[in-house]
């Protein structure tokens, strides 16, 4: 019986344990909204986690909100997501050695098209 009373007490007081310091400020809320628009849902893959109702998207939104409230920067949060889920999690991948070809391929393609066009126009 005492365990039941303890569980009921913890359940009733759990919501009151969230202090005003743990609620996001306006700036934090804006940063949170910005980040969840930039993060891809790994289940849906064609939606951001802001648009997705998948369980993973809900978990990611909660993790991001916790980190925003903890005072982490946008850069730190994105690095956490990249370390945990890989480059595919962001709609705009970061510039790194692994994504170098992704970033320079449009330039290479443009050079090839210009060269091909010059060859056929002669």
Domain residue spans in the chain?
23-91, 96-122
pLDDT > 80? residue 14? no
Pairwise CA distance, residues 72 & 9, whole Å: 32
Residue-wise DSSP of 54-104: SHHHHHHHHHHHHHHHTT--HHHHHHHHHHHH-GGGBSS---STTTHHHHH
Share of the chain above pLDDT 70, in %: 82
Residue 17 binned pLDDT confidence (cut-offs 50, 70, 90): very low
pLDDT digits (tens, 9 = 90+) for 41-97: 988 878 999 999 999 999 999 999 999 999 999 999 999 999 998 888 888 877 778
- The CATH topology of domain 23-91 is Helicase, Ruva Protein; domain 3 (1.10.8)
């Amino acid at each position: 019986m005492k365990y039941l009373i303890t569980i009921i007490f913890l359940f009733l007081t759990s919501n009151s344990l969230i202090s005003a310091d743990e609620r996001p400020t306006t700036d934090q809320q804006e940063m949170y909204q910005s980040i969840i628009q930039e993060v891809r849902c790994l289940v849906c893959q064609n939606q951001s986690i802001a648009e997705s109702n998948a369980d993973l998207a809900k978990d990611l939104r909660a993790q991001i909100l916790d980190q925003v409230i903890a005072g982490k920067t946008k850069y730190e949060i994105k690095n956490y997501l990249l370390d945990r889920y890989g480059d595919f999690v962001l709609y705009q991948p970061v510039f790194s050695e692994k994504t170098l070809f992704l970033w320079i391929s449009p330039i290479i393609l443009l050079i090839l098209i210009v060269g091909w066009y010059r060859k056929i126009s002669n």
